[in-house]
């Protein structure tokens, strides 16, 4: 028995100390004479194609990208998102489960139109730039977000700041699969306090949800940043009226409640989850999560009053929110402001 057991021990030892699978050595995919800078993004589409995009800190600054096709061992030579003599900043990269992907970038350094280049499913390279968000006189575009659905439709959402008073709005435009022009921009959130940290997600059916931070404090008032969200049903162009997902900081004796850093994801079943950090009056950071349930009733359409932002946006029964983490050690916590059962 002992003699038969020895080979088994030897085999087990060989398995335990076997060399790990070989890992490929890192390779450079950008030119050696140009400094690369963030944001750096990586996406793999539903067909297995990989895209890496970034900005070069060369003169002029310019966005670049490279693609590795499914089954290929190497990345293709990098392309510039604009002609080499034009400035442009890479902004966002997104890939769809159907195999399509898109890159969003600015045509300019400090300001300029926002444009998209699309790589359809099965294609080896990105197409020509298509303007998504034209920058109007007296306006400034910032906080751009991008999503691609399973059909290849591209949705771009962004903040537009009015320079004369720094009030801002949230806008969106859509590029249907195979189209050569975006739809005209539509309002997601009307002009109001500063809106930033815009994000967007699409589900398998093509419904889109956008989220952002909005300051409800007003001029010469303490900052009251809240997380807001708006939903667009699949096949529709109109977005629902914005809903507050976080506490608005107006209750009690303190107005220090504020939210920041929202993140959003859409599930294949149609549900949407938004997470953010909320700083309460006790100076304790609390992670909050809200979900839009799959199959939720279609949201009420926006009232036709594009120039005013309500002090508190009411939520419909399609969302509910829940605190999901204990506070940090920065201070004593209190319970977050109660919310309606609009998110789960």
For residue 276, what are the β-bridge partners? 288
d(CA 115, CA 182): 10
Q: Of 225, 221, 179, 210, which Cα lies nearest the Cα of 292?
A: 210
Vertex 255 angle, CA 251 and 258, to 5°:
100
pLDDT at 136: 87
In which element (H, E) is residue 14 found? Answer: helix 2-16
pLDDT of residue 178: 94
∠ at Cα 193 (114, 91), nearest 5°?
20
pLDDT of residue 342: 47
pLDDT tens across 125-134, in order? 999 999 999 9
Residue for token digits 């966005």? 63
Structure tokens at 268: 């294949």
Whether the model pTM is above 0.85:
no
DSSP state of 30: S
**244 secondary structure, DSSP code:** E
Return the pLDDT at 253.
37
C-alpha 303 chain-centroid distance: 26
Per-residue pLDDT of the chain (344 residues; tens, 9 = 90+): 555 555 555 555 555 555 555 667 888 887 666 677 778 999 999 999 999 999 887 656 778 899 999 988 899 998 889 887 788 889 999 999 999 999 999 998 778 899 999 999 999 999 999 999 998 889 999 999 999 999 999 999 999 999 988 899 999 999 999 999 999 999 999 999 989 999 999 998 899 999 999 998 776 677 789 999 999 999 999 999 999 999 876 544 344 568 899 999 999 888 999 999 988 766 668 899 999 988 775 544 443 334 334 333 444 446 665 555 444 433 333 333 334 444 56
The pLDDT assigned to 112 comes to 87
Closest Cα partner for 321 from 293, 295, 299, 342?
A: 342
Tell me the three state secondary structure of residue 21: coil
Please answer whether residues 115 and 64 qualify as being in contact, where contact means their C-beta atoms are separated by less than 8 angstroms: no
Residue with tokens 């089954």: 71
Give the C-alpha distances (Å, rounded to integers) separating 261 from 161, 198, 202, 228, 246: 19, 9, 19, 12, 12
**Is 171:222 a contact under the CB 8 Å cutoff?**
no
């Amino acid at each position: 028995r002992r003699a038969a057991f020895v080979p088994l021990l030897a085999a087990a030892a060989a398995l335990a100390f076997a060399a790990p699978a070989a890992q490929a050595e890192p390779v450079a995919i950008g030119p050696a004479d140009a400094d690369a800078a963030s944001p750096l993004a990586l996406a793999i589409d539903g067909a297995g194609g990989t895209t890496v995009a970034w900005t070069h800190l060369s003169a002029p600054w310019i966005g670049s990208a490279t693609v590795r096709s499914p089954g290929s061992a190497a990345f293709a030579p990098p392309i510039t998102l604009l002609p080499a003599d034009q400035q442009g900043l890479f902004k966002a990269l997104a890939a769809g489960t159907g195999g399509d992907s898109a890159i969003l970038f600015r045509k300019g350094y400090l300001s300029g139109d926002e444009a998209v280049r699309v790589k359809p499913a099965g294609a080896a390279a990105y197409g020509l730039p298509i303007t998504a968000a034209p920058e109007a006189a007296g306006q400034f575009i910032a906080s751009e977000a991008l999503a691609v659905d399973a059909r290849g439709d591209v949705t771009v959402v962004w903040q537009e700041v009015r320079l004369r008073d720094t009030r801002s709005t949230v806008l969106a435009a859509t590029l249907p699969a195979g189209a050569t022009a975006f739809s005209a921009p539509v309002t997601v959130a009307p002009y109001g306090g500063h809106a930033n940290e815009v994000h967007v997600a699409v589900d398998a059916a093509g419904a889109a949800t956008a989220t952002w931070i909005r300051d409800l404090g007003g001029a010469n008032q303490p900052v009251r940043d809240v997380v807001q969200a708006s939903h667009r049903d699949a096949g529709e162009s109109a977005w629902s009226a914005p809903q507050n997902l976080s506490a608005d900081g107006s209750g009690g004796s303190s107005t220090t409640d504020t939210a920041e850093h929202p993140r959003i994801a859409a599930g294949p079943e149609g549900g949407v989850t938004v997470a953010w950090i909320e700083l309460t009056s006790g100076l304790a950071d609390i992670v909050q999560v809200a979900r839009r349930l799959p199959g939720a009733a279609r949201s009420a359409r926006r009232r036709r009053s594009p120039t005013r932002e309500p002090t508190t946006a009411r939520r419909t029964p399609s969302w509910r929110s829940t605190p999901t983490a204990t506070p940090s050690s920065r201070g004593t916590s209190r319970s977050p402001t109660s919310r309606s059962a609009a998110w789960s």
